[in-house]
Amino acid sequence: MDDPTPTPAAIELIALTKRYAQGSVAVDSVNLRIASGSYCCLLGPSGCGKSTTLRMIAGHESTTSGDILLENRNITALPAADRGTAMMFQSFALFPHLTALDNVAFSLKMKGVDKATRHRQAQDLLERVAMGHLAQRKPGELSGGQQQRVALARALITQPRVLLLDEPLSALDPFLRIQMRAELRHWQRELGLTFIHVTHSQEEAMALADTMVVMNHGRIEQVGAPREVYNRPASEFVARFMGGHNVLATTQGKVAVRNDHIQLAPAHTGASGWPATVSDVEYQGTYVLLGLKLSAGDGTDDNSVSVMLPEATFVQQPYSPGDAVSLSWAPWQAHTFPPVLDVPAAA
C-alpha cells in the first residue's frame, strides 16, 4: 500500500505553465515533485522548456499559471531573494574586478552585513570548496574549474535550500567537464542540498542525476532514475533523444533496442535475422560503431540501424562497408513502448 503521507518534496510544481504574449507555450501544465536532498536533471533539446522551468523556480521568470512549492510553502509570487533558492549560471557571472573573496561575499554586502563578518563567511566557504588559498585572485586569474568553485561558494553563502544550475558545465572543455561534474556530485552529497540542474547532455544527466526529467515541447515525457529512463524509455522521442537505441517497426509495433544489444553475423553463415548491409564503420577505442541499412525496407523511418560492438568482438569478426549481414536480438532486449504515456511523479 502506498504511503498516504509522502515525504514533502523539496520542490513541487503544480500545473506550472508559461505562455508568452504572442501565444507560444514554453511550459505546458507541468507537474513534478523533486525529492529533498536529491540531484535532479532537467533534460531535453533546445526549446523544450527546461531553462524556462528553472527560471520560474528561481523567480527570474514570471508564471502564467500554476504553483511552485518549496517544502510545502508556496513561493510562486515571491521575489527571487526570498525564495530559499540560489542560481549558478552557465557563464558563472563573476564580477571581473572583484577578488574571489569579494565575489562570494557580494550578496552579504548588499544586505548590509559588515565587512569582517561577510569576509569571514566567504573565506569559510572558499575553504570548503578548496579555494581558500586563491581568495585574493580575480576571475581572470583563475581556471574555468576554479571559477566554477567560486560561483558555487557564492551561491551557497545565501544558505539556499535548493541550488539551481543552468547548464553550468557547457562552457568548459570536455576533459574539465568530466572532472567538474564529479565535483558537483560530490558537493551535492556533502552539502545535502537539493540540486536542480538543466542540461542538454544525456551523458551529463546520467552521470549526475538521481532523477532525470526528460522534456519535449514544454511537457514532461518521462521522469525516473537514469537507468530506468535509458533502459525503459516511455516514448519513441525519449528513446531517440537518449541515444544508443534503434527504434524498429516489428509485427507487434515499434520497439526500442539498444545498439549494444544487437548481434551481428555475416550473411553467408546463414544465421537467421534481419538482413542488412554495413554502410559505415567507426572505431571508437573500446568499441566499434557500425551503421547499417536494412534490406527489408520498413524497419525504421530511414532503414538505418546502429550497432555497437566491443573492440575485441570486432577484431575477431571484422566488417567493412558493403558487407551483407544479419542482425538479431533476444526478445527480452526489445522494449515495447507503453500505448498510453502515464508518467509517475518523482518520489
Q: What per-residue confidence (pLDDT) applies to 297?
A: 57
The band of 148, judged by pLDDT with boundaries at 50, 70 and 90, is confident
Residue 256 lies in a domain: yes
Task: Judge whether residue 281 has pLDDT over 70.
Answer: yes
**Residue 68's CATH number:** 3.40.50.300
Domain-terminating residue out of 205, 231, 257: 231
Grid cell 506550472 in the structure block, residue: 16
Note whether 225 and 252 are same-domain residues.
no
Q: CA 304 → CA 105, 276, 297, 313, 322, distances in Å?
A: 55, 9, 9, 22, 14
Note whether 221 and 282 are same-domain residues.
no
Q: What per-residue confidence (pLDDT) applies to 301?
A: 61
Domain-terminating residue out of 231, 254, 284: 231
Residue 240 lies in a domain: no
Q: What per-residue confidence (pLDDT) applies to 23?
A: 81
Q: How far apart are CA 87 and CA 165, in angstroms?
A: 6
Q: What per-residue confidence (pLDDT) applies to 81?
A: 87
**Residue 259's CATH number:** 2.40.50.140
Count the neighbouring beta carbons within 10 Å of the beta carbon of residue 192.
Answer: 8
Residue 236 lies in a domain: no
Note whether 254 and 223 are same-domain residues.
no
Q: What per-residue confidence (pLDDT) applies to 299?
A: 57
Note whether 67 and 39 are same-domain residues.
yes
Q: CB-based contacts of 332: which residues, under 8 Å, 6+ apart?
A: none
Quick: pLDDT tens for 14-34.
999 999 988 899 999 999 999
Q: Are 294 and 257 in contact (CB under 8 A)?
A: no
Note whether 202 and 261 are same-domain residues.
no
Residue 13 lies in a domain: yes
Q: What per-residue confidence (pLDDT) applies to 272?
A: 84
Residue 239 lies in a domain: no
Q: What per-residue confidence (pLDDT) applies to 344?
A: 47
Q: What per-residue confidence (pLDDT) applies to 259?
A: 95
The band of 327, judged by pLDDT with boundaries at 50, 70 and 90, is very high
Task: Judge whether residue 58 has pLDDT over 90.
Answer: yes
Quick: pLDDT tens for 192-236.
899 999 999 999 999 999 999 999 999 999 999 999 999 999 999
Note whether 106 and 133 are same-domain residues.
yes
CA contacts within 13 A on the Cβ side of 334: 15
Q: What per-residue confidence (pLDDT) applies to 117?
A: 95
Quick: pLDDT tens for 154-195.
988 988 999 999 988 887 788 888 888 888 898 899 888 999
Q: What per-residue confidence (pLDDT) applies to 168?
A: 84
Which pairs count as long-range contacts for 176-185, CB under 8 Å and 24+ apart, including other chains? 176/143, 176/144, 176/145, 177/204, 179/145, 180/145, 180/148, 181/207, 181/208, 183/145, 183/148, 183/149, 184/152, 184/208, 185/39
SS3 labels along 47-71: CCCHHHHHHHHHCCCCCCEEEEEEC
User: How many domains does the chain contain in total?
Assistant: 2
162 pairs with which residues across the strands? 85, 194
118-127, 179-188, 238-247, 256-265: range with lowest mean pLDDT: 179-188
Residue 343 lies in a domain: no
Please give the span between the terminal C-alpha atoms of the chain, in angstroms, as a whole number: 15
Quick: pLDDT tens for 82-132.
999 998 877 778 899 999 999 999 989 998 999 999 999 999 999 988 899
Burial of 253 (0-12, 13-18, 19+ CB in 10 A): exposed
Note whether 78 and 219 are same-domain residues.
yes
Note whether 197 and 105 are same-domain residues.
yes
The grid coordinates of residue 191 equal 552539502
Q: How far apart are CA 107 and CA 160, in angstroms?
A: 13
DSSP 10-42: EEEEEEEEEE-TTS-EEEEEEEEEEETT-EEEE
Residue 346 lies in a domain: no
pTM (predicted TM-score): 0.86
Note whether 305 and 211 are same-domain residues.
no
- Which domain covers residue 260, as residue numbers? 246-336
What percent of the chain is predicted at pLDDT more than 70? 93
Task: Judge whether residue 3 has pLDDT over 70.
Answer: no
Q: How far apart are CA 42 and CA 72, in angstroms?
A: 21
Note whether 217 and 86 are same-domain residues.
yes
Question: Taking the alpha carbons of 110, 113, 116, 117 in that order, is the dihedral positive or negative?
Answer: negative
Domain-terminating residue out of 187, 204, 231: 231
Note whether 251 and 200 are same-domain residues.
no
Residue 292 lies in a domain: yes
Note whether 296 and 323 are same-domain residues.
yes
